[in-house]
């Protein structure tokens, strides 16, 4: 029970820090294309504030280890959630106009696919997300 409580507490701290960092990112203005690549066992790559979607997609895939698939985001945010008890198991991702929506949806999808303790592994927003 104690390890579950401390794991949940760590996840909540990571979530709070993610939201704080997200607020700081909103203050900057840049280009408007990004991509998020997702692979097996928690592998990911992200690229944001690129001039075009093709460049952002290529950069995200280059930063992701293994066979990864990429989704683009334009004036949006993407989030990737994994099961903390089994990083190679259930996961979820989402692309939404706001960071809070993408974080919530990615976590919900991880649980939907069988995750037991889903946490946000990574997130990214483009210039307007």
Per-residue pLDDT of 48-88, as tens digits, reads 888 889 999 999 999 999 899 998 888 889 999 999 999 99
61: number of Cβ within 10 Å: 17
Question: d(Cα 67, Cα 89) in Å, to the nearest integer?
Answer: 16
For 15, the token pair is 């979530």
For 43, the token pair is 């592998």
For 108, the token pair is 């919900």
User: How far, CA to CA in Å, does 41 sit from each of 4, 72, 93, 112?
Assistant: 21, 21, 14, 17
Angle at 89 between CA 98 and CA 83, to 5 degrees: 50
Per-residue pLDDT of 113-129, as tens digits, reads 999 999 999 998 886 54
């Amino acid at each position: 029970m104690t390890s579950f409580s401390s794991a949940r507490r760590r996840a909540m701290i990571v979530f709070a820090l993610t939201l704080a960092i997200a607020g700081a990112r909103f203050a900057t203005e840049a280009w408007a294309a990004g991509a998020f690549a997702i692979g097996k066992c928690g592998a990911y790559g992200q690229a944001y504030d690129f001039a075009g979607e093709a460049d952002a997609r290529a950069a995200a895939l280059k930063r992701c280890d293994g066979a990864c698939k990429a989704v683009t985001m334009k004036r949006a945010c993407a989030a990737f959630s994994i099961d903390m008890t089994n990083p190679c198991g259930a996961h979820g991702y989402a692309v939404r106009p706001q960071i809070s929506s993408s974080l919530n949806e990615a976590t919900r999808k991880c649980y939907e696919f069988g995750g037991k303790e889903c946490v946000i592994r990574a997130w990214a927003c483009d210039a307007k997300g």
